[in-house]
Amino acid sequence: MNPALILISALLLAPLTALIAGESSLALTLPPRWYATPGVPMSLYFDNVVLTETPESYRYEVRCDIGKIEARRWTVTPTDGDVGDHAMTVTVKDDTGNVLQQAKTVLAVAARSAGANRRLRMLIVGDSLTHATLYPNEIARLLGELGNPQWTMLGTHKPVAAKSGVAHEGYGGWTWANFLKKFDPKTAGVTAGPLARKSTSPFIFADESGKGGFDLSRYFRESCDNQPPDVVIFLLGINDCFGAKPDDPTAMLKHIDGALDHADKLLAAFHEAAPHAALAVGLTAAPNARESGFEANYHGNYHRWGWKRIQHRLVQRMISRFGGRERDGIHLVPVELNIDPFDGYPVNNGVHPNPSGYAQIGASFYSWLKSWLQQNR
């Protein structure tokens, strides 16, 4: 590895038609840290870190001692010699070379053998992206490679798509609040199949009077062999915030903050019931780059640029709200950086990736997990 910093830059070829001028409007957003593992491709897609309808209208420069730049992304497949922290600076310029915004982050590359032969109990909580089960399958596939822990996935939901050993608590349309509050006495206590979870949270149980009560200790006791997980992965936020008003910034941020209040409550409950568990919060994935995906789903009622504005502000608020809270067990996982907004989505869906995009989400969670295992030996 060349110890000198390599300056790599790309001028995307589309013409500069309308510069949404100014540093603040671009809202270049990077997390403090993100994660990679030898042999696993990891990328930063430029469209996912700036708030603009025309990401192709800007020039992006990336300064890092590993990786390479391509037309729409910076990318790396680390080697074993790359283990360690790598400082990264991303600069956005206009077509004349004027710097519009600059941000820094650190890419942490964990050892391929981090956590080898340890026991690991993991629970995944999410919405339809988790229900699809493709990214939990990818986490399981990567954990099946040499140099990994002896893993167990916890959860009462095992859809037909689940590979051997894969389970979770992921349900289509669900929000942070649903896991705290959703209850129907007709289905409370029923654990067989996804239909049982359409109206009752897996963490809520009926008492003798028929009222529902949130009880993680009971969930761990009855559904997790009476042992709390070592790691809980959360991927939520789309359903919480999709209906926010992007044209009213004040109302939009109020909506987002209300959703994150529920996230805070659920995370606090997990930290209380499982104080030694790492709570891995996935930053909500960036959307399909095509308006056609939103037209196919929402027929003109919701648009790509509307959700892009909400999602970008949601990521910013999540970084602000949950960053630096490792003492509370909370760890940010920047899955939004590593999902290809074009090739990672089908042409006819706005927010649900294709298998390639789901695999990129799985790779992000896996790489964070390897870093956490390395730090917590």
pLDDT at 13: 32
What pLDDT, on the 0 to 100 scale, is given for residue 78? 98
CA Rg, the chain, in Å? 21
Residue 91 has pLDDT above 90, yes or no: yes
Domains of the chain: 6-109 (2.60.40), 119-375 (3.40.50.1110)
Whether the pLDDT of residue 321 is over 90: the answer is yes
pLDDT band at 155; cut points 50, 70, 90 = very high
pLDDT value, residue 50: 98
| Tokens 């390599």, residue located | 6
pLDDT given for residue 192 in this prediction: 43
Look-up: residue for tokens 């890419």?
Answer: 107
Q: Which of 255, 264, 358, 367 is closest to 311 using CA atoms?
A: 255
266 pLDDT tier (thresholds 50, 70, 90): very high
pTM: 0.92
Residue 237 amino acid letter: G
Specify whether the CB–CB gap between 180 and 212 falls below 8 A: no
Distance, CA of 125 to CA of 159 (rounded, Å): 14
Q: Span 55-77, mean pLDDT?
A: 97
For residue 271 the two structure tokens come to: 């930290």
253 or 195, greater pLDDT: 253
Judged against a pLDDT cut of 80, whether residue 145 lies above it is answered with yes
pLDDT at 377: 79
Helix (H, G, I), strand (E, B) or coil at 263: helix
Structure tokens at 182: 């959703």
Candidate from 133-147, 194-208, 216-230, 303-317 with smallest mean pLDDT: 194-208
What is the pLDDT of the chain when averaged over all its residues?
91
What is the mean predicted confidence (pLDDT) over 182-199? 64
Q: Is the pLDDT at 367 greater than 50, yes or no? A: yes
H/E stretch holding 105? strand 99-109
- Residue 191 pLDDT more than 90? no
Per-residue pLDDT, 53 = 95
pLDDT at 207: 84
Confidence band of 196 (pLDDT split at 50, 70, 90): low
CA neighbor of 329 nearest in space, from 230, 245, 235: 230
Model pLDDT for residues 4-44, shown as the tens digit of each residue: 333 434 433 332 222 333 335 899 999 999 999 999 999 99
What's the CA gap between 214 and 322, in Å, rounded? 23
